[in-house]
Structure 1
Amino acid sequence: GKEVPGIQARMRLFLQFLGRLPGSSPHQGPLHLYHTITFGRPPTQVKVIVLDTRSYRDKHAIPSVGAWFRGVPILGKLTPLAAAASRYLATDILGWTQSHQGDILGEEQWAWLDKELESSPAAFHIVVSSIQVFTSTPFLESWGHFPAARDRLVSVLERHAPRGLLLVSGDVHFGEVASHPAPPHCEPPLMGNGSLVPVSWIPEVTSSGMTHSCTTSANTRLWCPIMLDAYESHRL
Structure 2
Amino acid sequence: VPVFGTWDDHDYGKDNADNTYEFRAESQKEFLDFLGEAEDSPRRSREGVYETHTLEKGRIRLILLDVRYHRTPYSADDKGDFLGEEQWAWLGKTLRESTAEINLIGGGIQFLAPRTSILGLDVAESWTRFPQARQRLLETVLNSGARAPLLMSGDVHFAEISEGVCSKALMSDV
Aligned to 1:41: 57
How many residues are treated as equivalent by the alignment? 150
Aligned to 1:119: 97
Aligned to 2:13: none
Identical counterparts, % of pairs: 35
Secondary structure in structure 1 of the residue aligned to 2:99: coil
Aligned residue type for 1:124: I
Q: Deviations over 1:159-204 (max 9, x none)?
A: 11321211011111011111122xxxx7xx9xxxxxxxxx521111
Q: Deviations over 1:18-38 (max 9, x none)?
A: 11045xx69884353000111
Distance 1:35 1:129 in 2: 11
Higher relative contact order (CA 8 A, sep 6+): 2
**TM-score of the superposition, structure 2-length normalised?**
0.78
- Is the Cα contact below 8 Å between 1:125 and 1:164 reproduced in 2? yes
Aligned to 1:52: 66
Q: Which of the numbers 106, 112, 115 marks the counterpart of 2:84?
A: 106
**Are residue 7 (structure 1) and residue 24 (structure 2) matched?**
yes
Distance 2:89 2:47 in 1: 16
Listed as ranges, the gaps of 5+ residues in structure 1 are 62-95, 190-198, 206-236
Secondary structure in structure 1 of the residue aligned to 2:139: helix
Q: Superposition RMSD on alpha carbons, in Å?
A: 2.2
Whichever of the two has the greater Rg, that structure is: 1
Aligned to 1:132: 110
- Is the Cα contact below 8 Å between 2:102 and 2:149 reproduced in 1? yes
Q: Deviations over 1:104-159 (max 9, x none)?
A: 10000000001100131100000001100111132331011111110100110111
Structure 1 residues 125 and 3, CA gap change in structure 2 (3 angstroms): same
- Is the Cα contact below 8 Å between 2:96 and 2:145 reproduced in 1? no
1:132-211, aligned counterparts within 5 Å? Answer: 132-136=110-114, 137=116, 138-181=122-165, 199-205=168-174
Aligned residue type for 1:32: G
1:55-74, aligned counterparts within 5 Å? Answer: 55-61=69-75
Indicate the larger mover: 6-15 or 141-150: 6-15
- Is the Cα contact below 8 Å between 1:58 and 1:102 reproduced in 2? yes
